[in-house]
Structure formats: structure tokens, C-alpha cells
Chain A
Amino acid sequence: MASSDRLERLFNLTATLLATNRPLSAAEIRERVPGYPDDKATFRRAFERDKEALREMGVPLILEPIAGRQPAEEGYRIPPDQYELRDPGLDPDEIEALNFAASVVQLEGVSGLGAVWKLRSIASPATASDADGAAGHDRSADDRPGESDEVEAWDVGALPTNPHLVPFFVAVAERRPAVFAYNGQTRTVDPYRLDFVRGQWYLSGFDHLRHEERSYRLDRIAGTVELGPGASFDRPSTSIPGARLQPWELGSGEPQIARVLVDGDQAHLARQAVGNDAVIDERVDGSIVVELAVTNVGGLRSFVLGFLEHAEILEPPELRREMQRWLEAIVDRAKPRPRALRTSRSTRKRTAT
């Protein structure tokens, strides 16, 4: 059917279900809402599609028993208090800033347009108070921060999405435990936070299997995610930002304090990676000494080796020796010389060892 006819029917359906003070059965809906086909089976199919469309838009369509019906019957309604966007009390410049953000930072495959329409729909408080002269707001809503040249300067690629992202966002907001498979095990997790770091989405939360806070890469979660009831746990006010952990911090136990010297040429990279607070010494030649709390020795080794011969572990002696042993083993292993491999793969020769 034509888009306009369907729009009219959807609008009538929304209006009818919002205005009713008791749930309406499917038969009553067919009677009262103009635009539905007479044939029962055709009506059913059309009604199913309409319910789906309304739910996708965010319309809270609920199904509940109709009081006093014998035999028992269920009906539909839209509770007005659940339909409305709870007014966040945004000022016009705040609405425009959020709209601008949504135009710059996008989620791959998720349309932000509906969100922007809904925010723009909020009547600005400045308009109401203008009339009595009490407007204390500046009119910065008029100078849109979203004009073309600025958008060009803020060139941000769409963030990748993941099928589990929205369910986990709901789980974090509504404090619902999530059950999912990870590394071949079924986990029950109280989801605390979502992080997008180094191009990947992570979920952090309390893992009931491990009895500790953990983080999970969303793209490694296989299968479906099931959510439990809301308000099931309290979010700790200082949840550990799991994904923010550095490689040398992945691990438990008493941390060892390591000092690493990084040469001047690469000092700015080390500083960016560990943060200014970790820099305990700046030498005249531009090199720096950083202090790290290490719970994962392999992680520290990878970090330091990333600087090749431009960095070294100074302390403690055990970690310094561990690095030496690691490198010596690499030198020793290289003794039997590997075969040659041609550049072009088609002419590569293989010989049995």
C-alpha cells in the first residue's frame, strides 16, 4: 500500500491506543482504526507489521488482559506516561551541541536521525520564558555549530557497531545481568560500562563465574546475549575501567613497581602511552624514566620491546634479568638458519626439513 495510506493508518493506530483508557482487543482495533483490510487474515498480517513499526520507533505498545472479559482476553494500549520522552531539561545550546555531536560521531549502520528529530522536538524553554521577558538564555541556539566548514574539520569515521552493543547499553542503563558465551564458557556478568578503545568495543562488569571484575571484547562474544531483570545490582561508583588497563596491568596479585628508561627521541610516545603522572624523571638529554605498577610481566615486556633499543627496564633487578633472559633465548634459538623465501609467492620453494 502507498506510504501515505500506511502513515495515516499508523498515526490513527497510535492516536487510538494513546487515547484509550483500557486495552483494546485486535477486533476492536480493526473496527476503530480506519485503513485496515476487512479480511481477517490480511488484517492480522497488516496489524503485525504495524506493531513492529511502532516498536521500532520507540512507541511503548503493551499487551495486557482486558478487565472483566469472560473468557479472558488480551488487548493493546500505549501508556502516555511511558510514551513521552522524559524532559531532560536541555537548554537550546545543549540540544544543538548534542545534535552536532550526533552528526559528527556516528555509529555504523545506526541512524541518528530519529534521535535528532526527537531532541529538536523539545520546545526550548527560552521560547516559553521569552514572552514574559524572563529569558536568561543566550540565543546561541541560533548560531548552529553544525555548519559545513566545521563538520569538515571534525572528520570522524563512523564507530563500528556490533550486534551486542545495544543490548549491553540497555543492560548497563537498566542494571540487568547479561548471560553470554565467551571463550567457550557461559558467563553471567553484571554489566558496569562500555568502552570504545583502540577501535574496539569492550564491556566491563562483574563476572559471576570468576568472582571479579573483567572486560570482554564485544566482537569475541559468540551467539546471543540474554538479559535478566532490571535493577538487579548496584553499580560501584568507582568501577575499574577495564578496557583502559594497560598491558602490564592485566593480571592480579601484588604489583611490582618497575622503572623504565625511554630515550629522548621516543619520550613523547611513552609519555602519551603512560600518562604524565607516571613520568618520574626527565633527564637533560631528553630521555625520561617512567614508573609502572606491573601485574603482568609479559605485558611490560611487550611495551618495552615496542621501543626496540631505545628503552630498557632499569628496576627491579628481577624484571631486568627476566628481559635479558628472554632476549638471550631469542639469540640462541636463531642458530639453525631458516630457509629462503622468495618475494613472489607463486615461485616460493618449499623444502622438507
Chain B
Amino acid sequence: MSRVTAGERLQRLLAIIPWVAAHDGPSIDEICERFEVKHNELVADLTLASMVGVYPFTPDELIEVIIDDGRVWVHYALSFDRPLRLTPEQALVLVAAGSGLLTVPGVDPDGPLARGLAKLARTLDVDADETIDIDLGLAPAAVLEQLQEASRLRLQVEIDYYSYGRDERTVRVVDPLRVSAQQGQWYLQAWDHLRGGERLFRVDRVRAVRRLESAFDRPAPSDGLASFVAEPDDSRVELELAPAARWVVDQYPVEAVEQLPGGRLRVTLAVGAQPWLERLLLRLGPDGLVIATSDDLASDVAAAAARRILARYEG
């Protein structure tokens, strides 16, 4: 049985009828394709529509549906000649999708999407530029396009990548498996020949791409690869946070949170790379106190980093 509810079937039917009525006998195949409906479901729903009428059921008030030789004609005297208005959810879906896609580097800012969105927004009384803004992520257009193309053609690329966590720049060869926008960022999911494993790269941190002529053959990438997954043997740090630093808990995966008096928190964080911890502690300043660190981290990480930066100011 179909999983479509009666309400959804009616919604689909109310969309199909005006369109069929405005055309001279479109083919069943064409209707099925346009409205993404199966052949037998369409015929069943149209047959049902032909039985609809209004009290006191005089013939001129019925919807007439003719199905003949694989084509469909609809004639009617009811007010079903216009599509049903959009619900607020549906309006939001269209406006958000349109303005989101428009921010993708490489999408024509004056093309059919921009024109259609502007027209639709006007009828909905929203200004697509001023009332909604969807940012799928920062990314240099040229880099994004090169990566998408290489991924589609399944060709290896050499990328000049800045690893933010490690604070280092490296050039490496990767097999670009998938380019995607997630949670406001563009990511490249790739097999990394430098580290010998699948990795997630932020496209905005790719400085340059060089396409190689070598093709790669790998299965589809695994789903749900996170940008940082804590390993059991990663370094750990235990911090005491002032109330003003509670954002740390929202922003990073903390492994343990203990509420302390006065709105203070004690948290344990996994540390993927030392520069990441340096930045966090430097930003927190007096709001973040290191209580303990695992053996492999220098206990005065923040002070050492602060001294390196101060050298610039004193020089």
C-alpha cells in the first residue's frame, strides 16, 4: 500500500487537476513524471475525482474526467481551476531553498532561479534579499568548482590545505569523494594519501587545487564523517569555566560537565591538536582555568603560546 496520506493525495490531486485542465489532453506518462506519481495511483485518484460533486449533485457541477488512449482531459465547473495557495511551511521551503542555492559560488545571480525567487517572494510579501538570508558556507568559487568537477570526474587532486587545528599548511594528494555543504560549511570528504585514511576537509581552508590526470576508484564515502572525532588516546584537558565561557559547551563536544557553585562549570575536552587548545585558552583568558591536562600536553600550553605572540609585540 502507498504510504501517502489522504491529505497528501488530495493536495497532489488539487495540483494535478488545474494543470491537466489547462492543457489539451496531456499524456498519463507526462503527468506521472511531472507530479512524481505512479501510473495506477494517478488513474485511481482521477477516477475518484470524477465522482466528486456538490449538493444537490446536478450534472453541471461535477468534475468530468476523460481518460482515453493514454491521455487525460478534465472539464469542470468548480473552482479548481487554480492551484491551492502555499502553506507557510511550503513558502518557507521554497524561499529558503532558492536563496540558499543562490549563495552557492558559481550559481548565476541573474538566472532563472534569481528571477523566479524574486517573483515568488513578491507574491508572498517577503523581500528575498532583505528578509531572508541563507549562508550555506564560505568557499572560494574557483576552489569549490574545481573540487566538484574533480569529484564528478573521479580524478585525483593535489590540495594546498591549511589545517586549522594543527596550524600547519601541507600539500597532499587526495581522492575527492564528495563535496557537500553541512551546517553552514562546505566540506570535502576525501581519501587522504598523506595520512592514509578518509578525512573531512573544510573547503574554505583549501588554498589551491591542482587537478591530476590520475583517476581513482573508490566506493562511495562513508556517511556521517565528523570533522573531529575524539579518539580514546587523544589528549584531554580539564577546564574550569566562568559563567561567561559557557559557550564552550555549546560549541565543542565536551566529555564531562560538572556544575559548580556560582554558575561555573568543570568540563573535560578531547584535544585533537595543541594549536586548537592554545586558541581556546588564549581567547578565554581569565574565564578558563586549566585544572588538569593529560601527560602528553605541556601544562602551561596557554602561557607558552602567549609568549610566542608577545614576541611579535615586543620586537
Stretch at the interface among A67-75, A178-186, A234-242, A277-285: A234-242
B contact residues around A63 at 8 Å (CB)? none
Q: Is the CB of B112 within 8 A of A93?
A: yes
Max chain B CB contacts within 10 Å: which of A94, A195, A326?
A94
Q: Is the CB of A269 within 8 A of B112?
A: no
A contact residues around B90 at 8 Å (CB)? 58, 112, 114-115, 118
Q: For residue A16, which residue of chain B has the nearest CB?
A: B54
User: Contacts A101-B101, A305-B282, A343-B296 known; A107 to B7 CB distance under 8 Å?
Assistant: no
User: Contacts A123-B23, A172-B126 known; A334 to B83 CB distance under 8 Å?
Assistant: no
Q: Is the CB of B179 within 8 A of A112?
A: no
Stretch at the interface among B12-20, B193-201, B210-218: B12-20
Max chain B CB contacts within 10 Å: which of A91, A196, A331, A342?
A196
B contact residues around A83 at 8 Å (CB)? 79, 82, 84-85
- B16 CB to closest chain A CB (Å) equals 7
B contact residues around A14 at 8 Å (CB)? 10, 14
The A contact surface, by secondary structure, is: helix
Give 1 or 0 for each of A277-302: 1 = CB within 8 Å of chain B CB: 00000000000000000000000011
User: Contacts A93-B112, A331-B307 known; A7 to B10 CB distance under 8 Å?
Assistant: yes
User: Contacts A11-B49, A19-B78, A330-B282 known; A98 to B309 CB distance under 8 Å?
Assistant: no
A contact residues around B136 at 8 Å (CB)? 105, 156
Q: How far is the CA of A32 from the CA of B238 in the complex (A)?
A: 71
Q: How far is the CA of A199 from the CA of B202 in the complex (A)?
A: 14
Q: Does A165 contact B (CB under 8 A)?
A: yes
Q: Does B43 contact A (CB under 8 A)?
A: no
User: Contacts A84-B84, A89-B119, A196-B135 known; A11 to B48 CB distance under 8 Å?
Assistant: yes
User: Contacts A57-B11, A115-B90, A343-B236 known; A323 to B126 CB distance under 8 Å?
Assistant: no
Q: For residue A175, which residue of chain B has the nearest CB?
A: B125
B contact residues around A266 at 8 Å (CB)? 162
Q: Is the CB of A345 within 8 A of B85?
A: no
A contact residues around B312 at 8 Å (CB)? 309, 312
Give 1 or 0 for each of B289-315: 1 = CB within 8 Å of chain A CB: 011111110011011011111111110
Q: How far is the CA of A185 from the CA of B312 in the complex (A)?
A: 44
User: Contacts A10-B6, A11-B49, A199-B183 known; A269 to B126 CB distance under 8 Å?
Assistant: no
A-B contact count (CB 8 A): 394
User: Contacts A107-B92, A324-B313 known; A85 to B83 CB distance under 8 Å?
Assistant: yes
Q: Does B172 contact A (CB under 8 A)?
A: no
Chain B: how many interface residues by the 8 Å CB criterion? 134
Q: How far is the CA of A167 from the CA of B157 in the complex (A)?
A: 45
Within 8 A of A (CB), among B130-157: 130-136, 138, 140, 148, 151-152
Give 1 or 0 for each of B84-101: 1 = CB within 8 Å of chain A CB: 111111111111111011
Within 8 A of B (CB), among A184-227: 192-200
Q: Does B22 contact A (CB under 8 A)?
A: yes
Chain A: how many interface residues by the 8 Å CB criterion? 129
Q: Does A136 contact B (CB under 8 A)?
A: no
Q: Is the CB of A153 within 8 A of B303?
A: no
Q: How far is the CA of A112 from the CA of B100 in the complex (A)?
A: 14
Q: Does A4 contact B (CB under 8 A)?
A: yes
Q: Is the CB of A330 within 8 A of B96?
A: no
Q: Is the CB of A84 within 8 A of B83?
A: yes
Q: Is the CB of A57 within 8 A of B113?
A: no
Q: Is the CB of A312 within 8 A of B313?
A: yes
Can you report 10 residue pairs joining A to B where beta carbons are below 8 Å apart?
A12-B54, A58-B85, A89-B119, A123-B23, A155-B179, A169-B132, A302-B283, A327-B310, A338-B293, A341-B237
Interface set of A (CB-CB < 8 Å, partner B): 3-4, 6-8, 10-12, 14-16, 18-19, 31-33, 53-54, 56-60, 80, 82-91, 93-98, 100-102, 104-107, 110-115, 117-123, 127-128, 140, 149, 152-157, 159-160, 165-166, 169-170, 172-174, 192-200, 235, 237, 239, 241, 243-244, 265-266, 268-269, 272-273, 301-302, 305-306, 308-310, 312, 320, 323-324, 326-331, 333-334, 337-345, 348
